[in-house]
């Protein structure tokens, strides 16, 4: 959420807080690159609250902006805490469930000293062959497999979404990069970066993230023009975003 603030000299980074109802909400104020005089508030699945603002923004104005969103922050924290209650660390052993393109597949770890180590999607299962069973090795092989599949699928979906993004004159450069707090990003020069674990989500979620970043090529901030473009190319994008955000803990190998 972008909220206008009155700029004034203050610290570039600090921890702040306020009380909402019976809860003390703590958030971290960080410097916002390429700031436009607004505060960007984010609540992450691990229940961190971050307010990005211009370096010279006044702390009191930032606190006021965040408090205005107190109810929304409180509800986000409540929902993410419920998810955390039912989330257990992955052990990367046979019988676990892992996602790929929105579907769940059982993990089958095969110990085969003479076979080539790798991952195959066979008969509704993700089969991982290893010379010796190791959590770290299974996780590493799965990570490499997801990245390879992401590179191929994201390229195809980008081409498909470009047919709708008529404002984009040239095919943007696409980069695959594991990120802790984002599904995707768009640089000022139009390069799109996507999180490889997005390939675990449904195709419409992948399309949403790609379209979101393509809209940033036309409008780098979350302005009215940006949302007009999003509504034009994906009229029900809000529901898709909610669906993706609600699955964050299931799709990522570790919490944000």
Domain ranges of the chain: 2-85, 97-251
Least confident of 40-54, 175-189, 218-232: 40-54
Tens of pLDDT along 93-122?
Answer: 898 889 999 999 999 999 988 889 999 998
Give me the sign of the Cα torsion angle 53, 243, 136, 140.
negative
- Give the pLDDT confidence score for residue 7 in this predicted structure: 31
Q: What is the mean pLDDT of the chain?
A: 85
Whole-angstrom distance, CA of residue 126 vs CA of residue 115: 16
Whole-angstrom distance, CA of residue 200 vs CA of residue 166: 28
- CATH 3.30.2010.10 for domain 97-251, yes or no, is yes
Comparing 244 with 80, the larger pLDDT belongs to 244
- Give the pLDDT confidence score for residue 84 in this predicted structure: 65
The model's pTM is: 0.70
With contact defined as beta carbons under 8 Å apart, do 199 and 206 qualify? yes
Whole-angstrom distance, CA of residue 98 vs CA of residue 179: 19
- Give the pLDDT confidence score for residue 32 in this predicted structure: 73
Whole-angstrom distance, CA of residue 179 vs CA of residue 100: 18
pLDDT bracket for residue 21 (50, 70, 90) = confident
Question: Quick check: helix, strand or coil at residue 242?
Answer: helix
State the CB neighbour count (10 A cutoff) for residue 127: 17
- For the residues 184-199, what does the mean pLDDT come to? 93
- Give the pLDDT confidence score for residue 37 in this predicted structure: 64
pLDDT bracket for residue 9 (50, 70, 90) = very low
- Give the pLDDT confidence score for residue 33 in this predicted structure: 62
- Residue 8, pLDDT > 50, answer no
Q: What percent of the chain has pLDDT over 90?
A: 51
- Give the pLDDT confidence score for residue 34 in this predicted structure: 55
Tens of pLDDT along 148-175?
Answer: 999 999 999 999 999 999 999 999 999 9
- Residue 254, pLDDT > 70, answer no
- Locus of tokens 């092989």: 141
- Give the pLDDT confidence score for residue 119 in this predicted structure: 95
- Give the pLDDT confidence score for residue 46 in this predicted structure: 75
- Residue 11, pLDDT > 50, answer no
Tens of pLDDT along 35-64?
Answer: 556 788 888 877 889 998 888 888 898 999
Q: Which of 125-134, 178-187, 244-253 has the highest mean pLDDT?
A: 125-134
**Residue spans of beta strands (DSSP E) within the chain:** 2-4, 14-20, 23-31, 38-43, 49-53, 97-100, 103-111, 118-122, 125-130, 174-176, 184-186, 192-194
- For the residues 131-139, what does the mean pLDDT come to? 92
């Amino acid at each position: 959420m972008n909220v206008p603030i009155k700029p004034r000299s203050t610290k570039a980074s600090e921890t702040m807080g306020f009380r909402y109802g019976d809860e003390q909400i703590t958030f971290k104020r960080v410097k916002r690159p390429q700031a436009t005089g607004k505060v960007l508030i984010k609540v992450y699945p691990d229940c961190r609250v971050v307010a990005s603002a211009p370096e010279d923004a006044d702390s009191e104005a930032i606190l006021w902006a965040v408090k205005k969103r107190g109810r929304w922050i409180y509800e986000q924290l409540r929902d993410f805490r419920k998810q955390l209650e039912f989330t257990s660390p992955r052990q990367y052993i046979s019988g676990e469930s892992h996602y790929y393109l929105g579907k769940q597949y059982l993990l089958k770890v095969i110990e085969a000293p003479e076979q080539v180590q790798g991952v195959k999607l066979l008969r509704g299962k993700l089969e991982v062959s290893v010379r010796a069973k190791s959590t770290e090795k299974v996780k590493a092989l799965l990570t490499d497999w997801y990245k390879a599949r992401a590179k191929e699928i994201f390229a195809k979906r980008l081409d498909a979404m470009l047919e709708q993004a008529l404002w984009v004159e040239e095919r943007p450069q696409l980069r695959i990069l594991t990120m802790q707090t984002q599904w995707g990003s768009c640089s000022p020069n139009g390069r799109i970066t996507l999180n490889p674990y997005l390939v675990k989500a449904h195709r419409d979620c992948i399309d949403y993230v790609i379209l979101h970043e393509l809209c940033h090529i036309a409008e780098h901030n979350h302005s009215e023009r940006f949302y007009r473009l999003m509504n034009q190319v994906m009229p029900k994008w809000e529901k898709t975003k909610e669906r993706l955000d609600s699955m964050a803990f299931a799709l990522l190998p570790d919490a944000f």
